[in-house]
């Protein structure tokens, strides 16, 4: 599919934007939002799913505290390096983990 073949203003159009990795137009964003609103319970389901994920991650963090701390510091170092390379890191934060 090419960008000029998108069925704008439809849920499929929204999916096509994602597939093609191009910005989602307002018409397709609106179509997806209307579709989601038309399904009662989807918001409640997503809220419960998010809550379950958050609780599971909290339990995992406690059960594997040392491993989580190691992962966290590895990822923090990566994002700090990226911020520094992008010129977004203030001078006083350079060299800190």
What pLDDT is attached to residue 37? Answer: 85
What pLDDT is attached to residue 68? Answer: 94
For every residue of 22-72, DSSP letters joined together read -PPPHHHHHHHHHHHHTSTTHHHHHHHHHHHHHHHHHHHHHHTHHHHHHHH
Residues 91, 27: Cα–Cα separation, whole Å? 43
Residues 13, 3: Cα–Cα separation, whole Å? 10
DSSP 13: H
Q: Residue 2: is it exposed, middle or buried by C-beta count within 10 angstroms (0-12/13-18/19+)?
A: exposed
Instruction: Say if residue 10's pLDDT is above 80.
Output: yes
- Tallying the residues shown for the chain, one arrives at 97
Place of tokens 């009662």: 40
**Helix (H/G/I), strand (E/B), else coil: 93:** helix
pLDDT tens for 36-94 read: 888 878 778 888 999 999 999 999 999 999 999 999 999 999 999 998 888 888 888 87
């Amino acid at each position: 599919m090419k960008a000029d073949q998108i069925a704008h203003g439809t849920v499929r159009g929204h999916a096509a934007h994602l597939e093609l990795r191009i910005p989602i137009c307002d018409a397709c964003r609106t179509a997806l939002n209307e579709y989601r609103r038309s399904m009662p319970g989807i918001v409640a389901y997503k809220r419960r799913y998010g809550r379950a994920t958050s609780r599971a991650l909290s339990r995992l963090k406690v059960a594997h505290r040392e491993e989580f701390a190691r992962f966290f510091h590895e990822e923090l170092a990566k994002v700090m390096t990226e911020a520094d390379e992008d010129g977004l890191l203030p001078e006083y934060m350079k060299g800190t983990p």
